[in-house]
Structures are given as structure tokens and as C-alpha cells.
Structure 1
């Protein structure tokens, strides 16, 4: 679902990064309080309203100011770097806020192509495209009456991602969590071979917003020709597991977090490349 919202600059002065994040948190927190009280935090209306909030308060102008301020804040860089990493699906994941919900910056840098695993999520989310054109695919379960002719995900590459039906190994991914006061690491469990069909190719351009429900299967394709960045807000997690259809036999489940210097370098590169692309 794609949305368009008038852009308003809500950060008129260069406030500190902490104050900027606090202002954003207050708006997002109130949103989730409102919808959690009636048990609809991941329904379409809640996610659409969440997308409007991102469009109004986390558009490119505001995010540029925020990221520039974070770069100048060593303590905040340390905090954010400790929960941020290079995702196995090919993008830089920067967790700006982790308050039950998460506000994240995703950056796909030019010059490096990637194709995600097909997957669902443990939460619904809204996203606003800051830079470039985000290319993705929507998938669903398919009937298995043509199983003998179907390619497997391991046989596909970015160049033939137009394939409309495929056979894939499915895993149930469980996030790290606590059980009986014991930490349980992230892990995956093999489910079996599943037949999938592609529903739609989607391109979201800078300034657009969209939403995704938890059960929707999808993946992002980044050809690597241009810089792409989005800001995404995930609703509070409701379940521990999601569906995963990896293109490799051993998807990376335990990525290494960034150092403050690594995060600063990546954010500086993004801002520099964004200015050049403008």
C-alpha cells in the first residue's frame, strides 16, 4: 500500500540529536498507546497512520538534520552503534530508537547489489523512502500442481527474479528472546519445501510511504546502481517467529554490531552521497 503525504519541516532549528529523537519518540509512543489500547496496533488503519507520521516527521530534510547531529554526538553514536549492523540481506541497519517499537534507518549503498531472502515479519511496519528507488517483490503461497518444473530459490539470481513461481526450502526463524530467565539465541528450524508465487513487482520512489502487514511475504532487490535509503518503524513485536526462504543454505543469523567509528563513517558516507545525488 503506497501513500503520499504533504511534507512539513517540523525541525526548524538544529536541536541536539537527543532532543530530536525525543520529539519523534513522543509522537510514535502516543500512536502506539492509542492503537494498543484497542488491540489494533498492526491493522491497516494503524499502519497507515504510522506511515503518515513518518512522512511528516521523518522525511529527508529532518533525517538529514538528525543524522548530522548524531555524527556530532559521541555518546549517542555509541548507543546506536551497539544495536546496529550490516544486515545479511545487504543493507546497513541503524536502529535509532528501540522502545518496544523500533525506528530504523536502512541504507543500500550504490555499487553493491543484493537480493534479500523471501520472508515475512514478526511485526507490521510502515516505511518512508528517503533516497533513491526501492525495488521489491510481493510473494504468496502457491498451489503445487506444477512442482516438477519449478526452479528452487538456490537456482535464482537477481537477473532472473522475474520468475513468477518457485519451489523453496522454508524455515521458521525464531528471534533471540528470554525463556524462564534464560537467554535463547536466534535460530531457524527447517519446515520443508514450499511452493511460492510472485504477486507483484513494486518500486517505491523517494518521498513515498508504504506499509507491510506481518504475514506478507516479500523481499527487496537492490541492483546497486544508486543509493537507496528508507526510514522504517516497526510495531511492537507480537510473535517470536516468522517465515524465511533463504537463497543460501546458511543465512547469517548473528550479525556483528558496529563500532561508533564504523557507524559514524557510514552515516557520513550516506550524507555525502545523498548530497551528490540531490
Structure 2
């Protein structure tokens, strides 16, 4: 039986606050050899096809690879490559609490709050729909935001955030960054987004699935960056 799924399913009836998600993610990191686990995925075409159907290149410039998903949790790999298009991420919150473990590389997490002064952004409510390519973006006016925290998370560190926290991620200097990301169940029906752009009548985004061929190459590349015999990754 899939050991990661067993760990996740053992916690489905517990309240999935961010600290609990962090403990679950830590249990996965410390008890599962991720290199071996990904190698097993590569050997199973049926599982690769399932993962491919759920995974895609995110508009923010990273690969979102869904390893496990249920009503109670989502476990994903997030992978950024330096050779991809210029990375930009809007300030946003999430519909769910989450914990993230940096496998390789790193990023700078910035936390913001609405304020009476500071940087000006266009605010939107983002409502996802059944299709990952369709959404509703509801304009909420111009808002000031104040930076309240900036912390760098490098390999072998954890980021934990509650759903209401406004943040953005900036990559540090690295050719390759990969994280293991665990989200709980949705606690709201929308996400808040703060953008530099005034967006009018936009309700669709082109996010094609990652092909099985590309998924295999992504996994092979990730394995090549693993140290032999454990979950730690080279820098």
C-alpha cells in the first residue's frame, strides 16, 4: 500500500489546522524515501496517467504536480526551473491552510496586510470553478498593502501558513527549486488576489495538463538531484 496515502488517510478525521499539516508533512518527509517513491511512480504508467490529468504548469511559472488529492487534503510537488519564463507572483491568500517543505533551492516568503498606506494594488476575489481553466475574478477596488514580514526558506525548512494570511513567494538565486506542499480542505470559496494589473472580463486561463512524457522527465530530473538513500536533496 502507498505509505504516503496511508499517512494522509490516518489524519482525515482530525482538524487540519496549519500546525497539524506541518506535523503530517514532517512525518512523510522523515519516514518516506522520496527518491524511491518517485522511482516507483515512474514504473507505473497507470499512476503516471492519473497524476498527469491533475497536474499542470501554473500561471505563476511553476509546475504543480498533484501526487494525492481528496476532500480532506492535497499533496503536491511544486517545481520551478530557472530556464522557465520570468517568475512573477501576485500577493494572495489561500482557501485552505497549508504546510510546505523545501526539498531543494529556496524562496523568500513575504507577508502583507491591508493598511492605510503602502504599495497600491488592484484587489480581486478569485472564485475557482469545476474546470481548472475557468474561474470568476471579481474586482474589489484599489488597496494599500504593507509588508510585515520577509523570511528566506532554504532546503530542509518548512513554511506554515493559515488561509487568511496574505503572502507572495520570491525565488532566491537557484537554478532549480522544489517543494512538497500539503494543503487541508477548503475553508472558503474564494481567494484574495492583489495585482499590479487592472484585469477586465477575464474568466479563463490556458493551463494544459502536463503530458505523461513531460511528467516522466520532471520526475527523472528530480531524482537526479536526490542524495542516495534518503529524502534530502542536493543544493
- Is 1:219 the equivalent of 2:168? yes
- Report what 2:230 is aligned to: none
Once residues 144 and 113 of structure 2 are traced to their aligned partners in structure 1, the CA distance between those partners, rounded to angstroms, is 9
RMSD value, Cα: 2.5
Counterpart of 2:56 (choices 85, 93, 97) is 85
Quickly say closer, same or farther: Cα 1:116–1:184, change in 2 above 3 A.
closer
- Report what 2:180 is aligned to: 231
Based on CA coordinates, which of the two structures has the bigger radius of gyration? 1
Quickly say closer, same or farther: Cα 1:210–1:223, change in 2 above 3 A.
closer
Q: Secondary structure at the match of 1:32?
A: coil
TM-score w.r.t. the length of structure 1 is: 0.73
Quickly say closer, same or farther: Cα 1:60–1:30, change in 2 above 3 A.
closer
- Report what 2:190 is aligned to: 241
Once residues 196 and 184 of structure 1 are traced to their aligned partners in structure 2, the CA distance between those partners, rounded to angstroms, is 28
- Is 1:27 the equivalent of 2:4? no
Once residues 65 and 95 of structure 2 are traced to their aligned partners in structure 1, the CA distance between those partners, rounded to angstroms, is 18
- Report what 2:47 is aligned to: 76
- Contact (CA 8 Å) 2:97, 2:161: kept in 1 or not? yes
- Report what 2:144 is aligned to: 195
Q: Secondary structure at the match of 2:185?
A: coil
- Report what 1:260 is aligned to: 212
- Structure 2: segments with no counterpart, 5+ residues: 228-232
62-71 or 115-124, larger mean C-alpha shift: 62-71
- Contact (CA 8 Å) 1:187, 1:253: kept in 2 or not? no
- Structure 1: segments with no counterpart, 5+ residues: 1-18, 36-40, 145-164
- Contact (CA 8 Å) 1:120, 1:218: kept in 2 or not? yes
Q: 1:13-57: CA deviations, max 9, x gaps?
A: xxxxxx33xx2222222323022xxxxx33xxxx21221221221
Once residues 253 and 173 of structure 1 are traced to their aligned partners in structure 2, the CA distance between those partners, rounded to angstroms, is 12
Quickly say closer, same or farther: Cα 1:59–1:86, change in 2 above 3 A.
farther
- Report what 1:147 is aligned to: none
- Is 1:115 the equivalent of 2:88? yes
| Superposed counterparts of 1:1-278, under 5 Å | 19-20=1-2, 23-35=3-15, 41-42=16-17, 47-58=18-29, 62-100=33-71, 101-112=73-84, 113-144=86-117, 165-177=118-130, 185-223=134-172, 225-249=174-198, 253-274=205-226, 277=234
- Cα drift, residue 140 of structure 1: 0.8
Once residues 135 and 61 of structure 1 are traced to their aligned partners in structure 2, the CA distance between those partners, rounded to angstroms, is 27
Q: Secondary structure at the match of 2:107?
A: strand
Once residues 174 and 74 of structure 1 are traced to their aligned partners in structure 2, the CA distance between those partners, rounded to angstroms, is 33
Quickly say closer, same or farther: Cα 1:62–1:246, change in 2 above 3 A.
farther
